[in-house]
Structure 1
Amino acid sequence: MATVLQCFALLCACCIDTTFSHFELKNVAYPKQVSLSSGYQGNTFPGSLAVNGIFSDFAHTGFERSPWMRVDLGARYRIHEIEVFARSDGYGHQLHDFDARVGDTIYDMHLCGHFTGVASNAQRIAIWCLHNTVGGYVQVQIVAGSTSVLSPAEILVWGD
């Protein structure tokens, strides 16, 4: 019985540590500069809408192969998690099959994680980075399919 209680206590401690980990971190993407691989309808939905803290609007690239959005964090951070939120207005499916990358320069980006599949409306997709992932840029890029758009409601980058 004591072993079961010890296991339960350890499990609870791990859950609490994971659940409350964001209290020690900050969203280092808010409100930073965002570059898009292309604009949509004359840049009607600029990259800044993906990091403004408002989940009811969205940034939007043009239709192209492998569209991307890149957040310039303005400094180097240790990146723990990247959260990408799909749109809630019936177009959540536009977020699919993407890589999340982190780098010190736009020419040296390292894979943090990958999402496979098609997002549902308002879905939160969490990408956890390796312990020592450090960089000043975060890029989300669709890597499957032919012509696509990238139009997330929000991108949060948790770091310190």
Structure 2
Amino acid sequence: MDIVFNNNEQSCCNGDVALQEDASYTGHATNESVLQQIGEKQELLQTISRRQIAFTGHVIRKGRLEELCLSGRVQGKKATGGQKLLYLNQLKESTGQCAIRDLWDANLALNKPAWMSSVYARASVSSAAENSVDCHLGTNWFHGVCSSTAENDRSPWIVIDLLGQYEVHNVTIYNREDDFSERLHDFVIEIYRTNPSRCSEASAVICKVYSGVFGLTGNVQCESAVLGRFVRIWKPTTLNYQDVLTVCEIEVYGIRPDSCAPTWHQGVRGKYLLSPGAATFPQQSMVTCFHLCVMSETCVGANYNGGSNECQLISQPKPTDTVSSNQDWVFFGDDLC
């Protein structure tokens, strides 16, 4: 069952929702009524600020004429222009941000769920996947700040759930520096819209195929911007049984797509995701349940029980969450298929 939220410019104002299965059904609810149910307010000014920030970050990262127009600076000893960084100063004031870097360089991977194909087992040193998304930029593996797969894992990978669909532009990787840095080589950065660990049918779009030994720290630019929620770094070939995948920190940068762009999700009948902390809303219609999720900035999935009309909104799914089967339930989101 495909569930389509037609959030294009025409329907963005009235919030039409269509469920497509054997037949289509359209339910209507105003944005105001939905926001009242989930306890959120309309934040037009914040939306405008976010779009200003995304635009500014996109332009300034280019480092060419567009940056000069905004910053009023050129390379050299003598500054150019009269009022330096006027536009950026106004943007900082309106958004309340202190550092210009904070406006657009938000690390999308920071403290997000992460997991690996295997975990290197050593009692005295942590090699867990979450080490690579904790903002600790140490690169000595023996300090327990890196993530490593197990020996004999001949196709190792690590996945980060961004908890939202983003347009990914680049990925910064911190390699192990104390020893064996050459093990980070010949890898692929893939972007998935659907969870590749829970859905065998999930298809990847390639951000970058990296050939050779990576080095210590570097920024990997995607060949083109890629839309997705799950970022996977995969080493398809290992040289020997000790050629593990080790990364000490991963930073992912990109922007949210336009909120009025069409959002496509799939509904999975007969399954639901047991996610602790899910918000429960009793006595809701299926349309309203899924609409509540779309209207919330943090919701990434929903369980709906057609028998009890119970709606569960999921914001923080974990790789350890379990999947249960029950024909009364429908799961909506990108975690199952």
Offset at 1:39? Answer: 1.2
Structure 1 residue matching 2:148: 3-state secondary structure: coil
Give 2:160's match in structure 1, choosing from 71, 75, 78: 71
Q: TM-score, normalised to structure 1's length?
A: 0.80
Q: Which residue number corresponds to residue 317 of structure 2?
A: none
Q: Which residue number corresponds to residue 142 of structure 2?
A: none
More strand per residue: 1
Structure 1 moving runs of 4+ over 6 Å = none
Q: Which residue number corresponds to residue 140 of structure 1?
A: 233
Offset at 1:66? Answer: 1.5
Give 2:221's match in structure 1, choosing from 128, 135, 141: 128
After TM superposition, list the pairs within 5 Å mapping 1:11-160 onto structure 2: 14=64, 17=67, 24-41=104-121, 44-56=126-138, 57-63=145-151, 64-105=153-194, 106=196, 107-120=202-215, 123-146=216-239, 147=241, 148-160=243-255
- 1:54 corresponds to which letter in structure 2? H
Alignment CA distance shift 1:95-1:16 (3 Å)? farther
**5+ unaligned residues in a row in structure 2: which ranges?**
1-61, 68-99, 139-144, 197-201, 256-337
Query: In 2, distance between residues paired with 1:101 and 1:60?
Result: 19
Q: TM-score, normalised to structure 2's length?
A: 0.40
Q: Which residue number corresponds to residue 261 of structure 2?
A: none
- 1:30 corresponds to which letter in structure 2? L
Alignment CA distance shift 1:65-1:71 (3 Å)? same
Structure 1 residue matching 2:182: 3-state secondary structure: helix
Query: In 2, distance between residues paired with 1:16 and 1:124?
Result: 27
Offset at 1:131? Answer: 4.2
Offset at 1:54? Answer: 1.0
CA RMSD, Structure 1 to Structure 2 (Å): 2.5
Structure 1 residue matching 2:131: 3-state secondary structure: helix
Query: In 2, distance between residues paired with 1:38 and 1:141?
Result: 12
Structure 2 residue matching 1:27: 3-state secondary structure: coil
Greater CA radius of gyration, 1 or 2? 2
**Alpha-carbon deviations, 1:20-40, whole Å to 9, x = none?**
988523110001111100111
Alignment CA distance shift 1:116-1:42 (3 Å)? same
